[in-house]
Amino acid sequence: METATLANIHWYDERFEYDCQARNPQVEQACFHHFFGRKSMTIVDLGSGTGSNCLYFFEKFPEQQKWIFIETQENVSQYALKRLSKSATEKGYKAVQKENKLTLTKEERNISIEYITASFLDLVDLVNLDEVDLVMASAAFDLISFPQFIQFGSVLLEKKLPLLTTLNYAEMNFDSEEPTDVFCIEKYESFMNRPQEFGKAMGKKCPRILVDFFQKQEAEVVVGSSTWRLEGEPAKAMNFHLLNFMEAAAIQMIEDEDEQVLFEKWINGKRKLTNEGKLNTYVQYYDLFVSNR
């Protein structure tokens, strides 16, 4: 889920380039085709984080746009508005920010953005869905449980709301012959679906579960793979971020002392390769566009 403390914001800024490169073009075109000819759109972005979805799409969607960000941390949403304001100003837009709202204008284009500080699981209580055209989420659903998603997905189907969900985690691997790769990656992945107060997150099963759920509800589903390619010297910063995140997650799942030693040796080896500009990491995601038939 794209939520962050300010300490982690650089991670989300760093990954933006790779998120953009990973987006599946067929899924994206299915969304554009669905809204072809529209003059205006209202978009709800779930777990909006630092505003990457809006930053990517605001010049691709119709001239009149209203974005509603739903994010649990207000300081992150404030950062998102500043980030969008800076980027849009560099592209010739006039940007006006007041509290939790930002307006971007350029010739005939008018884009309004506001944020709500809350959990997107409370969506029906936060937004009038009858006025929404598209619900969007990036790196969000793999971190919630299937029962939670059923409640959410059922609302979308009832309201006949299209959904564009990107970067749903599936798997990862390294371009190496290290025999402990699979073991250590699985320890990291087990953190995703560990028992929590709300149950177990869907984790790497998320893309398959989402496709199955919507297809069995007779929705139209366009699905395609999207891959982070973190290769060599240019991706050093991203690889370091990812390895730090993996370590923080995996060590919570390892109780055996010998396994801890094994993991630490493995992660330090990956850091050494990263420092030398030799680590290639591939993270497999899936993007989906869901609409009514």
Instruction: Give the model confidence (pLDDT) of 250-269 as tens digits.
Output: 999 999 999 999 999 999 99
What are the residue ranges of helices labelled H in 35-122? 52-57, 74-90
Would you say residue 6 has pLDDT above 70? no
What are the residue ranges of helices labelled H in 35-168? 52-57, 74-90, 123-126, 146-159
Residue 130 is predicted with a pLDDT of 96
Would you say residue 2 has pLDDT above 70? no
**Mean of pLDDT values over 205-227:** 96
Would you say residue 224 has pLDDT above 50? yes
| Cα 139 to Cα 236: distance, rounded to the nearest angstrom | 22
In tens, the pLDDT along 10-27 reads 778 889 999 999 999 999
Average pLDDT, the chain: 93
> Please, which pLDDT band fits residue 211 given cuts at 50, 70 and 90?
very high
The answer to whether residues 69 and 167 touch, using CB atoms and an 8 Å cutoff, is no
Low-confidence winner among 7-16, 55-64, 75-84, 222-231 (lowest mean pLDDT):
7-16
Low-confidence winner among 28-42, 106-120, 132-146, 188-202 (lowest mean pLDDT):
188-202
Residue 4 is predicted with a pLDDT of 42
Would you say residue 212 has pLDDT above 80? yes
Output the six-digit token pair for 151.
């409640």
Residue 177 is predicted with a pLDDT of 83
The answer to whether residues 41 and 134 touch, using CB atoms and an 8 Å cutoff, is yes
Output the six-digit token pair for 164.
């564009």
Would you say residue 3 has pLDDT above 70? no
The CATH H-level superfamily of 6-171+197-230+283-292 is: Vaccinia Virus protein VP39 (3.40.50.150)
Query: Which of 123, 19, 18 shows the shortest CA–CA distance to 72?
Result: 123
Determine how β-strand 163-174 pairs with β-strand 195-196: unpaired
Residue 232 is predicted with a pLDDT of 94
**Mean of pLDDT values over 261-286:** 97
The answer to whether residues 230 and 238 touch, using CB atoms and an 8 Å cutoff, is yes
Domain ranges of the chain: 6-171+197-230+283-292
Determine how β-strand 64-71 pairs with β-strand 109-117: parallel
Residue 1 is predicted with a pLDDT of 37
pTM of the model: 0.92
